[in-house]
Each structure stands twice: as C-alpha cells, then as structure tokens.
Structure 1
Amino acid sequence: MISNKNIFNSSTHNDLKSDVANSYAELIHDLREDLTSGYTNNFFSEGFLDRLKEIIIDKELNLYTDLNFYWSTLLENSIYLVQLHEECEETQKSDPEEFQIIEEELFNFWNDSDLTESFLELISNEKTILEASKVLQPLIENQIISFFYLNISKNPLLGEESYIYKAIPEKGDNDQCLYLGANNQLVRLEPPCETFPTLPIVGVNKHQNLIFLEGDKRYVITEGLETASFENKELHILPNCEKGFSKLAEIKESILKALTIINQNSNDLYNTFKAFTHTIIPIDEPAVVSYSQQQLPGFSCINVFERDFVDLLDDLLHENGHHYLNTILNSKELIIEDDEKIYFSPWRKALRPIRGIYHGAFTFYWALELFSKLFENEVLNNTFNNFNDEQKNKITLRFLEEYEMLKFCFEDIESAFESGKVTKDGLKLMKVIEELTESKNSLVEKALQSLNDSDSVKLNELKNLLEKEGKHYRL
C-alpha cells in the first residue's frame, strides 16, 4: 500500500512492478495451456492461431520485459475483439438490445485505437460496425506476429506470407529508422519505405541481421546507439528525426545535466525516475510537450526542441509520473473510466473526464515536488547555483502554480469517489498525494514572499480563474 512515507521507496517501486510481472506470467501460462491443448476459434483470421501456437512456446516470453508486456496487451486486445465479434453474431438476431450494447463496445474499441481513421472511413463507406471491425482485425493479428519477431524472438520469421508491421512512434519508430528489441538495435530505412508507417514484413533473420519486405526489399539490423550512463543507470536516448540525430550529443548532455540537478536536489525524485524510465525519445513536434503510452512502460517522448531547460526537468519527471501511475493501473483498478467531461482541468483549462483529472493530479504532483525542492535549495537557501535569476523566478512561480492547481483537484476527486468514478484504492492513493501537497504549506508561504510583482499578478489570475470555474462547474 502506497503511503506518504514509502511513495519514493525502491521497495515500493519494485513491489508494484512485481505485481505487473506476476500478472504477465499468469497470462502467458494460461495462454500456453489453452493453445497447446488444442484450442480453436473460427473467429480469428485463418492461420493466425497456428502461428500463435508456434510463438507462445518461445522461451523469450518466459520473463517479463516492457516489450513483452506491450506484446501481451496486443494479444489481449485481439482476444477481446474476437469475443466481441462472437457476441455480436450471437445476439444480432436473438437480442437486438444486447447487440446494440456490444456494437457500441466494438465502436469504442476502434475509436480508441490507432486505427480510428481507417475504421471511421470504412463506416462512412457503408460498412456496418461489425463488418468494418472484421476488415481491420487482421491488422492487429499481423502486428502481434511482426512485433514478436522484430522485437522479442531470436528465432527467424520465414515464409512467403507477409505480416504488416505498424511503426510505433512511442518507442522511437519513424520514417527514417526503427529501433528493435531491448537493446534498441537500429534499422535505417534506406532506401525509404514507401508504405511507411506500415511495413509488409516477409522475413526476419537476426543471425544475418536482416529484415525482408515485400518487393525484395531488405534492411540491415545494426547495433543500437550508445546509451547515456548516469549513477549506474543506463538510459536509452533514441532520436526520431534527423534533427535529433544531428543534435544527439547536445541532447544527451542536457538530459544528463537535468538528472544531475534532480539527483542533487532530491535523491528521492531521482530514484523514482530511475525506477520507471529507461528510454527517452527526443521529439520535434510543434505544440506537443511530451507523451507516453500505458501499454509501453518506461518509454517517454519529450519535446527537447521547443522547451527550455527548466521545462526539461519537469517533462522528465512528468512522464515518469505517468509510468508510475500506469504501473499501478496495470494491476489495480483506481478509477471507473467513462467519457463524461464534467471536471475542470486547471492544466488544460477545459473540462475533462475522470481519467484526465486523476492522471493530472498524480503526474503534476511530481512537478510540485520538483519545484518545491528547487525553490528550497536553489532559490531560498542558495545551497546550489544551477540557475540564473530568470530561471529562479520561473521555478518559484511554477511551484506556487502547481500547488494551487493540485489543491483545486482534490475536491473533484472526492466528489468522483462519491459518484462511483474513483475506487477505494484510487481515493487512498489520491489522499497520499493530497497529504504530500499540504506538507508544502509552510514553504508556500516563503515562496509567496519571494515572488516578484509580475509573477504575483499571474498567480492571482490563476487563483481567480480556479475560483470562478470551481463555482461554475461544481453547482
């Protein structure tokens, strides 16, 4: 159970990750039992189960890794999809009301996927939801097979049939290169792949370090980029554009400097980062700050080109906060998700569903912790000298802003619990965040005294906005 006393502890982090690893092991065990005992299902595409029966016994699946976990979520999605197809066909004539409910689940499945555009296009071309789903189903099955041979197995993929691999930008894939496996082996897409972001994979031979595509095209698998090392931590930094490659040394230097400052100011924050992040994807996407994916633990996509150094510190810990929360969510139910946008987000200045407000409160807590430590050590006490005056002003304001925005959220999360949108475990975790936030009260008073006039105006504007929106949306 997470408390304000153990939230930073390595043993807590390891226990959470062990829970996910145990769930993964149980899933693989159950799948192996089913598939090796003659399981069949005509709702899967022809040949898929035969290939899956070969895959599931591969020893590379024995141990939990973040890439194995990602693969297992693909497989679970495929199984869930087939169940929906079965239920649709069973109820289509016998129970129209139940059929409509299942059809809505099917719609939401694709609408929340990375194939939304293709799905909606099929619907617009007069396909029913079930028909459109069956058209797209092989793409998920192809991804399961191609991802496995590209990123997990050491065995070759041979044969005349091709499997579509959809590049995964959240792990660094881009139109110029792919990164494969735990060591992020580099595959330069030279000559360019005309079908990107999909690649029709015909074969994978890791002994020859080759990937074969349709049309007799082949790509060479080379060694991964050199990792960045800090305090016995190996960090993969994987550019996803030429600009990133050309500035890789500079990016590494900035990230290592950021981690040095984080560790210097708070060993707790650094150890928490070390527990949940292993790969940084430097991105150059206008108006995008950072993002990650729940199904892909440890990979953080961070915009290093449009943000300043203070922002970099924040972004590293913000995405790490997502990984921390997602690790909990991958084994425990904290919220009951729905699409009802009724909670005002102080960060987005817009209404959000419970998932948005809950994730926001947890992940932006790490910004509060960061900026409170930086204010205390770098601004108030001048223990270190890592920042100029402008940066110190920003740190002070960010500390106070995060404090106000977090305080605003706790009432809504309590209300969401009473409405059945937050579980008991979810409320307990958020109470820990609330206690940690309130522990900053005396430091907040000192920060208010050191705030300059222009930043005082900004803070008051934020407070007034939150008061106004709170009165409006909490009626």
Structure 2
Amino acid sequence: MTLLDVPLLARLQEEFRLSMKRLLGDLCLDLESQYADVVESLALPVAYFRFLGQALERDAYAHWKVVGWIEALNDLVYFIDLLQQIRAEQKPREFAAQLFAECEEKFFENSYLDDLFPRGVSQASGLERRLNELCTRLTQELTQESLCLVPGLPMRWCASRKLSSWTVVAYFGGNVERAEMLGTMAVGMEGAIYEAPPSVKRALKQSSGQATILVRPQKLSLKIGRTVTPLCTMRGHRLEWCWTHRQPVVAMETRAGAVTVGPTLVYGKDRQPRTVASTSADQVARIGRAWTIIQEAWPEGQEVLALLTARIIPLKAKGVVSFSYRHRPGLSFINCFDRDNLDLIDDLMHENSHHHLNLLLRKQILYHGDRNQQIFYSPWRRSLRPLRGILHAAFTFTMGAMLFERLSTWASGPGGSARWTQAGLTQRDLQRARFRCLEEVESVRYSIQDLEYASWHLKWLTGSGQRLVKQLAEAIEQVEHSIAPQRKAVLASKFGPALRRHVKELHQARMTYGPVRLGKV
C-alpha cells in the first residue's frame, strides 16, 4: 500500500459518507429523546433536519458543506448537553475549569473558547448564560445553513407538513468560514450563488446583515425590518429565483468533478478577515494553471488532489499562510496574492494533504490516548510540538517533498526547460523547488526518527500509526534517492547557505531536544 492509493481513499470516502449519514440520524434522535425541552426553547427544527437528511444524495454526505453542517450540529448537541449539566452542577468552578481545558484541546479550529471564556481563562460566573447564547447562535446558523443545502426543500417541507409559514432568523452580512459575500445565498452543492438586488443589499447593510427568512409552501421571502422582498417561487416543480443567479466559477474539470473557486477573503493589517470580495478571472486562471502543472508533472498526485479538493477560496492576506478546516473536507483557503506561482502549486498540494490525512484519521486511530505533551521538536515551526502536530507535519511535508521532486524531474531532460518556462515558472523557481525538496527531506527524516521513537520506545503509536510512519519513511527515502543528483548544484547555488544552515539547525535541535541522536548526514 502506498501513500497515493486512490482506490483506498475512494473507499474511505464512501465509508465516511455512510458514517456522516448515521451521525446525522443519531444526533436527531438524541435531540428528540434526551434534550426535547432545550430543543423546544431554542426552536431547533430537528424534524426538518431529518427531512433534509432523507433528501440529501449519497455523495453529498462527504461534501464540505454538509460535513461542516453536521459537525456543527454535533457541536451544538455537545453544548446543549453541557447546558443541561451546568443547570444541575454543584461545583461550578470545577465544571468551568474542566470545560476550559476541553475547549482548548477540542475546539482549536473554532471560536467556541472565546465565546465561553472571553477573558482567556476559566471563568464560572456567567458561564450558563454564555453557553445558552452559544447554543442560540449555533441554532440560528445551523437552521439558516440547512435551508440552502437542497434548493426548494424548505418549501416542500412546509407543504408536506401543511405549514402555512415558517420563520427563520438569518444573517446575510457575509460568512468567512464559507466565504460568502454580503447579500448572497450559496445554494446547493455546485457552487451556484444568488445575489440580492442593490436595494436589498443596501437594506442589509443598514440592518447589519440581520434579516428573517419567511418560508411558505410555494414561496421564499426575505424580511428586513418591515420590508418583505421575494427570494424565489415554486412554479410546479421548477424554482424561479428573484435574485440574480451567478454560475459556479470553475478552475478545472476533473474525473472527480468540477473544482470551483469561491470569492476572495480579504484580510486586514491585523491578519484577520476583513471582507469577502469577488475573485478576479486572473486568479482563477492562475489556479487552473497550477493545477495543470501538477497534473502534467505528477499525475498520481493530481489524482489524489482531484479526489479530495473540491473548492478553493483565494486569500488576499499578507503574511497569512494557506489553511483548511478538518470539518470542511475539500475546501482549501489558498493565499494567491502573497505567494508566487511555485508557492501556489505547493499550497494546493499542501492543503490537499491535510484533507488526505484527515480522511485517514476519520477511519484510523494512529496513536493511543491524547498525547498532548509538547516534547518533539518541529523543524517547520522551530518549536516543541505534540505527537499529533508532528504526524500532520511529517505527512504533509512528505507530500511536499514528493511534489518538488516530481517538478524537478518534469523540468529535466528533453523538453523539460521549455515545459517549465511555458508553465510560467523561472529557473530560480526550479532551483528553489530542488532546494525545497532537499530541505523537506532533511526535516521529514528528522521527524520520522522522533515518530519511530514514539512508536518503539514510548509505545504511543498504534499498528495503523506504525504503518503510516513506515510509508512516510519509504516515500522520503525514494525522494531522497531521486533528488540526490541535484544536491551538489543546490549547495553551489544561492540556496546552498540556507540548506547548510537548515541541516546544522537540525543537528543542534537533536542535541538539544533528543530523544535520539542523528547519524552523520
């Protein structure tokens, strides 16, 4: 079995779909049977969620929209349970301290810690109120998002239940996590957007994005203040929208489906998202060109990329690295403005590698217990990290080393130089790709020694974890062998001092942090 086992990943995706469908059913059952009073007070439409679960197609259960929605519902059930507990809690300070520790570990990708403990420390006073406010907010967000997953379904729901109307509090001020612009609705799974008329956008700005969605059996409307405007109408089996339809922006068509590009997240000087803006055609073309280069230079890698990455959100953010969320598989946020063409190629594969490993982690347990001790030196962060962080880094940067080696090979031999230039890459880019490959080989080898120590001496890794580390070791050994002929040229180039310095830093780190000693490099 290799790291790029596409049939295996496809099977894991299918298992993942089934598990998410089961999870949605289980969550709805828990809400109805164990938390009925809280559900009623929150006006959480569990029956509609069940209706939605039946309407979703099989493939949708691995889609980043649906997965994120179900994961958020799972979070809500967790917080509802805490809300019930705290109301009967006899030791609120101990409860708060335990919850603070759990949130630090469990919700590092979310803002829940800030919501519950805004001072950054365990705080028992007012915790019940803050929990209730968080549950209320999640209910609103989940309900609004559920209306947009299957076009026309809310109206069919009202018709099936013989409900004359259903009112849903909504926010249309833009969404950073899903990269949705003010005054737009992203409906369905394909990336289509419906944009409000200018008058509605102005009203939404005045209301700070606050509005109410009115659902009727044949009509969907938006209420802003006292003004009601139509969203869409059901004509027989056809849905007619009053808002402007914006087709999905497609960067690449693959065997796994279209890869779409969303709006751009624009960051401020504080490195925080400031607004969501339209993405230029030039950036879409750059993404498409980068994807094509991967396809030509590394077909096997592109197969995995096509399987696991479905949508790209450009970032206009100086000093902000590309990122992705575990709970939004297939959605990659890529810095397209502060990075050059080689960086863009690298970032596409890097974020895909996170999707790749996260899929494996949903199936396999790689290590025993939490293992949060920060005892392993990370060559990438130059600081001590827990086992989980080292595993993620070793995996993603092994993929990076493989990518750079394939790019180097693609640019070599007959026609290689012409291919490289036609791809919009420079000779300096080629030197840097080879340097990055050698740099990642050194870093991954360092971390693999730590992972092997964690496995054989500390007994922290499971059988699955041991097999994965073995695959990483074999892959990086192959890369090292393939890139070896370029090492002398890189050391003689402008990147030579940086490579020597990196190797020296790793030696020093090993001597400082252990737990094993490097042999002579």
Normalised TM-score (structure 1): 0.86
Query: CA, structure 1 residues 284+274, in 2 after alignment: closer, same or farther (shift >3 Å)?
Result: same
CA distance in 1 between partners of 2:217 and 2:8 (Å):
37
What are the equivalent positions in structure 2 for 1:454-469 lying under 5 Å apart?
A: 454-469=494-509
Decide which moves more: 232-241 or 364-373.
Answer: 232-241
CA distance in 2, matches of 1:52, 1:374: 50
Which range moves more in the overlay, 382-391 or 322-331?
382-391
- The answer for the alignment partner of 1:55 in structure 2 is 49
Could you tell me which amino acid in structure 1 is paired with residue 70 of structure 2?
A: S
The match for 1:254 is: 286
Question: 2-side partners of 1:57 and 1:305: how far apart?
Answer: 42
Is 2:470 the partner of 1:431? yes
Q: Counterpart of 2:67 in 1: which secondary structure?
A: helix
Structure 1 equivalent of residue 158 of structure 2? none
Offset, 1:210: 5.6
1:22 aligns with 2:18: yes
SS at match of 1:280: strand
1:101 is aligned to: 98
Q: For residue 234 of structure 1, give the secondary structure of its aligned residue in structure 2.
A: strand
Pair 236,111 (structure 1): closer, same or farther in 2 beyond 3 Å: closer
Pair 1:472 & 2:508 matched? no
Change (3 A) 1:288 1:104: closer
Conserved 8 A contact 2:317-2:335: yes
Bigger mean CA offset, 290-299 vs 191-200: 191-200
User: Distance between the aligned counterparts of 1:224 and 1:282, measured in 2?
Assistant: 18
2:448 aligned with 1:410: yes
Q: Give the partner amino acid of 1:61.
A: L
User: Residues 292-328 of structure 1, C-alpha deviation per residue, up to 9 Å, x if partnerless?
Assistant: 1111111111011111111111011011111111112
Structure 2 CA distance for partners of 1:439 and 1:327, relative to 1, 3 Å: same
The answer on 1:377 being equivalent to 2:416 is no
Give how far 1:376 is off.
1.9
Q: 1:258 to 1:61 in 2, by over 3 A?
A: same
Query: Corresponding residue for 2:487?
Result: 448
Counting only pairs closer than 5 Å after superposition, residues 134-145 of structure 1 correspond to structure 2 as 134-145=132-143
In the other structure, the counterpart of 2:248 is 225
Q: Which one-letter code corresponds to 1:366 in the other structure?
A: M
Q: Which has the higher contact order (CA 8 A, sep 6+)?
A: 1
Q: Within the alignment, does 1:120 sit opposite 2:117 as a pair?
A: yes
Are 1:355 and 2:353 counterparts?
no
2:95 and 2:43 mapped to 1: Cα distance?
A: 29
Determine the C-alpha separation between the residues in 1 that align with 2:97 and 2:276: 48
- Structure 1 equivalent of residue 235 of structure 2: none
Q: Report which stretch shifted further, 243-252 or 384-393.
A: 243-252
Select the residue among 221, 227, 240 that pairs with 2:264.
240
Asked if residue 321 in structure 1 is aligned to residue 321 in structure 2, the reply is no
Task: Give the 3 Å change call, closer, same or farther, for CA 214–107 of structure 1 in structure 2.
Answer: farther
Q: 1:198 to 1:291 in 2, by over 3 A?
A: farther
Hey, what does 2:213 align to over in structure 1?
202
Q: Tell me, in whole angstroms, the C-alpha distance in 2 between the residues paired with 1:291 and 1:143.
A: 22
Higher mean C-alpha deviation, range 70-79 or range 338-347: 338-347
User: Equivalent residue of 1:78, what SS?
Assistant: helix
Distance 1:247 1:35 in 2: 40
TM (norm. structure 2) is 0.79
Structure 1 window deviating more from structure 2 (219-228 vs 371-380): it is 219-228
Q: Which amino acid aligns with 2:250?
A: T
Aligned residue for 2:118, secondary structure, equals: helix
Residue 285 of structure 1 corresponds to 317
Q: Distance in 1 between matches of 2:110 and 2:276?
A: 28
Deviation of the 1:214 alpha carbon: 4.9
The CA deviation at 1:459 is 0.2
CA distance in 1, matches of 2:288, 2:107: 39
Mapped to 1, the partners of 2:108 and 2:332 lie a distance apart of: 24
Identity of aligned residues (%): 21
C-alpha separation in 1, matches of 2:500 and 2:112: 43
- 2:70 corresponds to 1:72: yes
* Deviation for aligned residue 1:445: 2.1
Instruction: Name the amino acid aligned to 2:131.
Output: S
SS in structure 2 at match of 1:8: coil
Matched to 2:262, the amino acid is L
Which has the larger displacement, 402-411 or 248-257? 248-257
Per-residue deviation, 1:79? 1.4
Residues 93-150 of structure 1, C-alpha deviation per residue, up to 9 Å, x if partnerless?
5x98678535643676667522443433388898343442223221112222111012
- In structure 2, the partner of 1:148 is 146
**Contact 1:152 1:181 (8 Å CA) reproduced:** yes
Contact 1:210–1:221 (Cα < 8 Å) also in 2: no
Relative to structure 1, is the Cα distance of residues 73 and 245 closer, same or farther in structure 2, using a 3 angstrom cutoff?
closer
Farther off after superposition, 151-160 or 284-293: 151-160
The separation in 2 between residues aligned to 1:332 and 1:10, in whole angstroms, is: 17
Match of 1:401 among 434, 439, 456: 439
Answer yes or no: is 1:392 the counterpart of 2:465: no
Letter in 1 for 2:22: E
RMSD (CA atoms): 3.4
Residue 187 (structure 2) aligns with:
180
